[in-house]
Amino acid sequence: MRKQYLSAPLPFVGQKRMFAREFIKVLKQYPEDTVFVDLFGGSGLLSHIAKCQKPNATVIYNDFDGYRNRLQHIPQTNRLLADLRKMVEAEGVPKHSCIRGDLRDRIFARLEQEEREVGYIDFITITSGLMFSMKYKLSIAEMRKEALYNNLRKTDYPLCDDYLEGITVVSCDYKEVFARYKDMPNVVFLVDPPYLSTDVGTYNMYWRLSDYLDVLTILAGHRFVYFTSNKSSIIELCEWMGRNPTVGNPFRNCHKVEFNATVNYSSHYTDMMLFTDAA
């Protein structure tokens, strides 16, 4: 019997584990021959649940962030975590306590050895065990700027060889995936873009407001399951647009002046001034 996961087997920012049971209820309304296209596949959890609940359905998982590669490296990641765990336990560092001094240096030396000899580190999984609050980093250089903590799990991650079984995996821009399947009968798009006004540092893409709005253009005329957050204000924006359909773009003919501003060493933003012609 295939195991159904209700949370992703490896850490991932924005995985939909809180929605898992409600998503299962939504899936019940679709026929068995539905084609589910997971445009922003992320951890693959939505695709996995869809295939478990609808075994005869076609499920397309857009693995733009390389999650499948992380799954394939679980045995190696477990071995690295086991070494780190032994080092921390040998020094008697309590759970959730800060890792300092020589132990911190030896941990970085072990990571550098892994990168040099093996050539791959699942930084999201590793930093989830060495940092707090999903403060994932994607390189040793980035990790060195942060404090390390003993948040290492006591057990290995499951191998989950069947997690993506029966699922078609692609890896490309979501617009390409949409274009490929938009005219297919019985298609349902699973749409879970990175949330606006949240940290997207671990995604393999840079998102602007226009990118979030572009996603909305693919929803019209198609069946979909869409995820967002109250931080994004996308729903509020769409409701406003519905009440004011004739406004258009008030800045279309404006001139723009920009200045780069700095709050501190790690926080920057751009100030903009937009203005119309005097006559």
In order of 29, 126, 216, the CA distances from 130 in angstroms are: 42, 7, 37
The CATH 3.40.50.150 portion of the chain extends over 17-66+171-243
pTM, full prediction:
0.83
Residue the block writes with tokens 């300092």? 100
Q: What is the pLDDT of residues 11-48, one digit of tens each?
A: 987 677 888 888 999 999 999 999 999 999 999 999 99
* pLDDT < 70 regions, the chain: 14, 133-134, 195-207, 229-233, 250-251, 255, 257-259, 263-267, 269, 271, 273-279
Residue the block writes with tokens 């132990």? 103
198, 90 contact by CB (below 8 A) = no
Residues in the chain: 279
Q: What is the pLDDT of residues 225-260, one digit of tens each?
A: 888 766 666 777 777 778 888 877 766 777 676 667
Beta bridge mates, 264: 267
31 contact partners, CB below 8 Å, separation of at least 6 = 186
Please state which CATH number belongs to domain 17-66+171-243.
3.40.50.150
218 token code pair? 């693919």
Radius of gyration of the chain (CA): 22
